[in-house]
Amino acid sequence: MKLVERFELFKREKEAYQELFRELEKGQKPWAMVISCCDSRIVPELIFKADPGEIFVLRNVANVVPPYGIFPSVDAAVEYAVEHLKVQELAVLGHSQCGGVKAMVEGTLETGGLFKWLESRARQIGGICCTKSAEKLNVKLSIENLLKYPCVEKAVSEGTLKIVGLYYDFANFTLELIE
């Protein structure tokens, strides 16, 4: 199995990580949370040059942050990062050529889990003709929802948390701030 083979390669390099992982046994203290797409081309730790333990990452299709209370796994991850890990930055990372956003724009979602996950967002961005514009709007809509999460709202108002929207064009190596 390829995953096991890759682990063996990682294990051979353990000297470089041994001290870091010993320190991480005491617990994690990430300074940021990144909500990213699960697209295999987008790797937040690589993009932001982060070592293990520095970034708390939530990945899902199309980096969607649904309204609070709709999908408990997203609520729980955000709450854990903000209230328990005390991250100082929370970013929604959108990206170029997002298949989830493309499906929303083209209206090709029909049934199943993907439809359930993206249906409400698809109604919000489905009328946009340009996928790139829709990808950026998707980030803005996720930020809007995120700011209504009770723990986020509280941390932002107390000045302990900064929220940011980012758009990564992986083919051109650019990162844009979404406001």
Which of the following CATH numbers is that of domain 28-178: 3.40.50.720, 3.40.1050.10, 3.30.1550.10, 3.40.50.2300?
3.40.1050.10
Neighbouring residues of 29: CB distance < 8 A, sequence distance ≥ 6: 53, 85
Active site residue 22: no
CA distance 66 to 100: 14
Q: Which is the catalytic residue, given 6, 41, 84, 123?
A: 41
- For 5-53, write each residue's pLDDT tens digit: 998 888 888 777 888 888 999 999 999 999 999 999 999 999 999 999 9
Domain locations along the chain:
28-178
pTM of the full predicted structure? 0.93
Predicted local confidence at residue 62, as pLDDT: 95
Cα(104)–Cα(119) distance, integer angstroms = 8
- Reply yes or no on whether 95 is catalytic: yes
